[in-house]
Chain A
Amino acid sequence: MTGISPAVVAASKLGLTFQTNDGPVQALSNVDLTIGKGEFVSFIGPSGCGKTTLLRVIADLEKPTSGTISVNGMTAEQAREKRAYGYVFQAAALFPWRTIERNVALPLEIMGLSRAAQAERIKRTLDLVNLSGFEKKYPWQLSGGMQQRASIARALAFDADLLLMDEPFGALDEIVRDHLNEQLLELWSRTNKTICFVTHSIPEAVYLSTRIVVMSPRPGRVSDIIESTLPRERPLGIRETPEFLAIAARVRDGLRAGHSYDD
């Protein structure tokens, strides 16, 4: 890669075909994408456009059937083995038999950190997502938004530079979602992590991202990549500015273009 920021994720000619009972389904086709360090990239598109599949390929939860993918300069599998990323799922997926602090400690236990190092990181990451004071609670004693924040803390706990988020706020109501978006941006600017964020909400994508990857279905492919011109410092009010609305209009156009052959 050229330039000041080395590529965290580099995909070229990436394709993935699932073999199903109804014959092969092409989930990804010819995806070329480079994500630099410190970027906040959103993947947006209608259901079935392969945005989640792409994220899972980066995470080595799915194997591509063609093309290449590298994460931190390694293959995706090596990157996973080296715990190069934290993954946040659509649901919090916290273990109900563990307290919040033990849930956050889960990856640290698997990595074999000492008890003292675990305690230090748990405290730091729970502070980061504003969940201090809930260490001893069980997940089912917390609201949905708090559970999702705990799952973000868990993904942050082992200090990977890359954060992969698959519609993490999709199941939450709008007010909680706005609040968490704000907190996520603040967290991103404080930690300077690279974030890949799957969503199907245009305002969410525009509000959060430095770059928006618009995808379209059948076969899943990248139809447009939009660089955001918004500043890094983004109060919630920025969503009413003409600049914001212009970017949102471009995203909407991109989504519509991807759909046009379908109507």
Chain B
Amino acid sequence: MNWLKPSWQAVLAIVLCLIAVALGAIAAPKVDPLAQSAGTLIYPYAATSWLIFGALLLAALISMARMPSIVEAVVLFIGAHLVAWLLIGGIAGFEGLARAPYFLQLAAAWLLGWRCVAGLSSLRATAKWERTALRLIIPAIFGAWILIIWEAVTRGAGIPFILLPPPSAIGARIAGSLPVLGADVRQTIFKAVIFGYVVGSAAGFITAILADRVPFLRRGLLPIGNMVSALPIIGVAPIMVMWFGFDWQSKAAVVIIMTFFPMLVNTVAGLAASGHMERDLMRTYASGYLPTLIKLRLPAAAPFIFNALKINSTLALIGAIVAEFFGTPVVGMGFRISTEVGRMNIDMVWAEIAVAALAGSVFYGVVALVERAVTFWHPSVRGG
């Protein structure tokens, strides 16, 4: 048995596959709307049901043979994704008619995908490019399977479009509405979010320095700042709209209020982070307030400041989108979400959500990259 290397995922996949075959058809037939004679049935998966079965069985069996992990991963990758593609392709026109074997075979394909990712994760890459490739491929397969299962289940089980549209429909909507989405991103992110984020973070930073320099500000301002941070955004947004009008300025104001406090608190904490010894050292050089601030205390505060910048990158996006629910010109991501929900265009809502998630991730990622470059010396970055 030296050539055999069983895995529970592959064995379970074979079992599920056999049960599926025993249960019969993958999906129910339906009346052909184009046929001449009434009552003619058309059958799904007429050509592919045995192909699906064969691909699953073959991939599962081959994967258990003793061979290099990378070959096993490739076999599993091809098998799992071929089956998923055939299943999803075959259900077109038969939405909601899927039977148990459809889901069993989907589960089997998913198990093979799982085995594939598990095999890749345990690979010990040596070269740098291999590690980079693995770091990208593993989450990509993982993410792809979330979409595959979402797509297959919503279409196979015929989940109403209003509740949860399949990702393919969302993708089609994104591709078809690029000008609208682009205008919304421009309005919400490039105007309100960026402006509010920069002004709010800068104001928090400057206030923190002032509070550090002027003792009465530290005593008086910090508790009030604390209260500002507790203001409910839902309550503040309509007031800001009344003060600053319907356009992006009122959203930027909400973003400023939301981002101010995290920056204030973190910078104040960061300015206290430099050690006694280092501050004594600066004293022995007869260093004034400003040189000590620039050469010692701000660099030492950098990890705290970047923490605030990362927190603010997500807060700013949430703030701007929610604020748009309370009145905007007819453009903007929050405006689009609130109106398209009312018009039952759920795919458009999901398209905006996807764009917002993407924009938020990119925003956060850029800040995190800058952080790595600036605080390269910090143990959390240099690793040790």
Please report the C-alpha to C-alpha distance between residue A82 and residue B277 in the assembled complex, in whole angstroms. 20
Q: Which residues of B contact A138 (CB under 8 A)?
A: 377
Q: Which of B107-115, B222-230, B291-299 contacts A (4 or more CB under 8 A)?
A: B291-299
Contact A83 B280 (CB under 8 A): no
The one of A90, A91, A96 that contacts B378, using a Cβ cutoff of 8 Å: A96
Interface of B is mostly: helix
Asked if A81 is at the interface (CB within 8 A of a chain B CB), the reply is yes
Q: How far is the CB of B287 from chain A (nearest CB, A)?
A: 5
- Contact string against B for A residues 48-88, beta-carbon threshold 8 Å, 1 for contact and 0 otherwise: 00000000000111000000000000000000111101110
Segment 292-315 of B: residues with Cβ below 8 Å from A:
295-296, 299, 302
Please report the C-alpha to C-alpha distance between residue A91 and residue B277 in the assembled complex, in whole angstroms. 8
Q: Which residues of A contact B275 (CB under 8 A)?
A: 93
Q: Which residues of B contact A111 (CB under 8 A)?
A: 285
Given contacts A83-B286, A140-B377, contact A106 B277 (CB under 8 A): no
Q: How far is the CB of B285 from chain A (nearest CB, A)?
A: 5
Segment 100-156 of A: residues with Cβ below 8 Å from B:
106-107, 109-111, 138, 140
Asked if B219 is at the interface (CB within 8 A of a chain A CB), the reply is no
Given contacts A93-B275, A97-B377, A140-B382, contact A61 B284 (CB under 8 A): yes
Please report the C-alpha to C-alpha distance between residue A107 and residue B287 in the assembled complex, in whole angstroms. 9
Given contacts A106-B295, A138-B377, contact A93 B281 (CB under 8 A): yes
The one of B284, B295, B384 that contacts A80, using a Cβ cutoff of 8 Å: B284
Q: How far is the CB of B175 from chain A (nearest CB, A)?
A: 46
- Contact string against A for B residues 118-144, beta-carbon threshold 8 Å, 1 for contact and 0 otherwise: 000000000000000000000000000
The one of B284, B287, B378 that contacts A85, using a Cβ cutoff of 8 Å: B284
Please report the C-alpha to C-alpha distance between residue A233 and residue B250 in the assembled complex, in whole angstroms. 77
Asked if B32 is at the interface (CB within 8 A of a chain A CB), the reply is no
Please report the C-alpha to C-alpha distance between residue A215 and residue B13 in the assembled complex, in whole angstroms. 79
Asked if B213 is at the interface (CB within 8 A of a chain A CB), the reply is no
B379 closest partner in A (C-beta): A140
Q: Which residues of B contact A106 (CB under 8 A)?
A: 285, 295
Asked if B283 is at the interface (CB within 8 A of a chain A CB), the reply is yes
Among A81, A83, A86, A97: residue with most chain B CB under 10 A: A97
Q: How far is the CB of B273 from chain A (nearest CB, A)?
A: 12
Given contacts A89-B277, A89-B281, A91-B277, contact A110 B287 (CB under 8 A): yes
Contact A110 B284 (CB under 8 A): no
B376 closest partner in A (C-beta): A97
The one of A80, A90, A93 that contacts B278, using a Cβ cutoff of 8 Å: A93
A93 closest partner in B (C-beta): B277
A138 closest partner in B (C-beta): B377
Among B277, B280, B285, B295: residue with most chain A CB under 10 A: B285
Please report the C-alpha to C-alpha distance between residue A86 and residue B284 in the assembled complex, in whole angstroms. 7
Asked if A95 is at the interface (CB within 8 A of a chain B CB), the reply is yes
Q: Which residues of A contact B299 (CB under 8 A)?
A: 95, 97
Please report the C-alpha to C-alpha distance between residue A96 and residue B275 in the assembled complex, in whole angstroms. 12
A111 closest partner in B (C-beta): B285
Please report the C-alpha to C-alpha distance between residue A82 and residue B275 in the assembled complex, in whole angstroms. 24
Please report the C-alpha to C-alpha distance between residue A85 and residue B281 in the assembled complex, in whole angstroms. 11
Given contacts A96-B377, A97-B377, contact A110 B285 (CB under 8 A): yes
Q: How far is the CB of A10 from chain B (nearest CB, A)?
A: 20
Please report the C-alpha to C-alpha distance between residue A110 and residue B275 in the assembled complex, in whole angstroms. 19
Given contacts A95-B299, A110-B295, A140-B382, contact A61 B280 (CB under 8 A): yes
Segment 236-292 of B: residues with Cβ below 8 Å from A:
275, 277-278, 280-287, 291
Q: How far is the CB of A8 from chain B (nearest CB, A)?
A: 16
Contact A80 B277 (CB under 8 A): no
Given contacts A96-B377, A96-B378, A97-B299, contact A89 B285 (CB under 8 A): no
Q: How far is the CB of B270 from chain A (nearest CB, A)?
A: 13
Contact A83 B377 (CB under 8 A): no
Please report the C-alpha to C-alpha distance between residue A86 and residue B277 in the assembled complex, in whole angstroms. 14
- Contact string against A for B residues 144-185, beta-carbon threshold 8 Å, 1 for contact and 0 otherwise: 000000000000000000000000000000000000000000
Not counting A97-B377, A109-B291, a sample of 14 additional A-B residue pairs whose C-beta atoms are within 8 angstroms of each other reads A80-B283, A80-B286, A81-B286, A87-B284, A89-B280, A93-B277, A93-B281, A95-B278, A97-B302, A97-B376, A110-B285, A140-B379, A140-B382, A140-B384
Closest 7 A/B residue pairs (Cβ):
A96-B377, A97-B377, A87-B284, A93-B277, A107-B285, A110-B287, A110-B285
22 contacts between A and B (CB under 8 A): A60-B283, A80-B284, A81-B286, A83-B285, A83-B286, A86-B284, A87-B280, A87-B281, A89-B281, A93-B275, A93-B278, A93-B281, A95-B278, A95-B299, A96-B378, A97-B299, A97-B375, A97-B377, A109-B291, A110-B287, A110-B295, A111-B285
